Chains A and B, each alone.
Chain A
């Protein structure tokens, strides 16, 4: 009956009030500089006494706040692990690049428990692939060989990204939480479409695109890869014919609009949790909503720092969960 989450969901309901809304993002986009945006965020309770007005520290503090809250609300490690897949695989990808192309700029790593940059670096250096989780063993070896022997960083990235998507798809079929099922399924589908778009724009072959796509319920990856390998128009037609008119329209408009559609589409897939009081769904949705909010504010602050015009910022601003 889900009573275990009643307390957690009730707390989340109060906290949802302080989430940024679409109106907040529009208002911040129109502000004159980065400093005004920071003042607005501080008024909204962002940051703490240690972060001051430093944007990087403010964002890090907010990430820490949401992670601490979710842990305190009793969300199981199994759920937290699933939510950290993209960050964990990113760390693996960065570690492979650092080892494959030594001397180049050091990769950026997410701060996730256990699967840190150092964890992967130690394993990859000694080629102890058997110590990696099952889903990473083979892809990590293939990706490292690809970069060491063929110096093909792009292909190496594709192998790791595909491994991440495959794992997400596998978990989406097994998980007992409907929200994770919806979130993972939508994430895999949207990422597949992103890969197809990039493939179409860079003139990749059918085989390359097909190899990069992960199977999912929403899409037929054979048709998607075929359309992407033909042309941008063929891909747009595929999307329109498969109930993704919004994606096709966004793609026709600009790549920025399309990227926005991708992120908005994932947030839309969890929005229904706002009316669900009895499961863990609203807690996970809040976490994802906050992550989306922090990443949008990061884009906004960077854009303000670099004096981007207001319209360009609005075009990049994601829809908020709040």
Chain B
């Protein structure tokens, strides 16, 4: 296996691993809050479940970038990489979603916890409460776009 392939695989692994860690962290935190609310008021289950899931998207974005990368470097499709520079380019292309995914999912989890607190006290304010963690999603989407754009343009 060439060094280029090693770098490209490292990028693919990092995008799923780091974004996944962030999501697990965020969903875990929000899950504790959601369980707390459901323990006292089971009627809020659906609302708090949606808030809990919001930090989970970064893990999916990371997985998507990993699939695209693998399908272009000769693992799931495309031509195998033979040179180091191309491999490094794939690694760098994967980093935005890996790093931003990790950090944004953690912070989205914290925001989701605070929003679950809003739903706990004022269930009718669910729409507004959901907007706060959704704002954090913006930056994960930007990172996903950049990762996909760069990967798509590596020849």
Contacts and interface: CB of A to CB of B under 8 A. Distances in A.
Contacts of A11: 36-37, 39-40
Interface of A: 3, 6-17, 277-278
B37 A14 contact: yes
A10 B35 CA distance: 8
A90 B32 CA distance: 38
A278 B116 CA distance: 12
B132 to A, nearest CB: 12
Q: Which applies to chain B's interface (DSSP): helix, strand, loop or mixed?
A: helix
A283 to B, nearest CB: 11
B42 to A, nearest CB: 10
Contacts of B32: 3, 6-7, 10
B110 A13 contact: no
Contact of B33 (A6, A15, A16, A17): A6
A7 B35 contact: yes
25 contacts: A3-B28, A6-B29, A7-B32, A9-B33, A9-B36, A10-B35, A10-B36, A10-B113, A10-B116, A10-B120, A11-B39, A13-B36, A13-B117, A13-B121, A14-B36, A14-B40, A14-B41, A14-B44, A14-B120, A14-B121, A15-B40, A16-B121, A277-B114, A278-B110, A278-B113
State which size class the interface on B falls in: 10 to 19
B29 A7 contact: no
B40 to A, nearest CB: 4
Nearest to B115: A277
B38 to A, nearest CB: 9
Given A3-B29, A3-B32, A278-B110, A10 B117 contact: yes
B34 interface: yes
Contacts of B39: 7, 11
A9 B39 CA distance: 12
A6 B113 contact: yes
Interface in B22-76: 28-29, 32-37, 39-41, 44
Nearest to A4: B32
B121 A277 contact: no
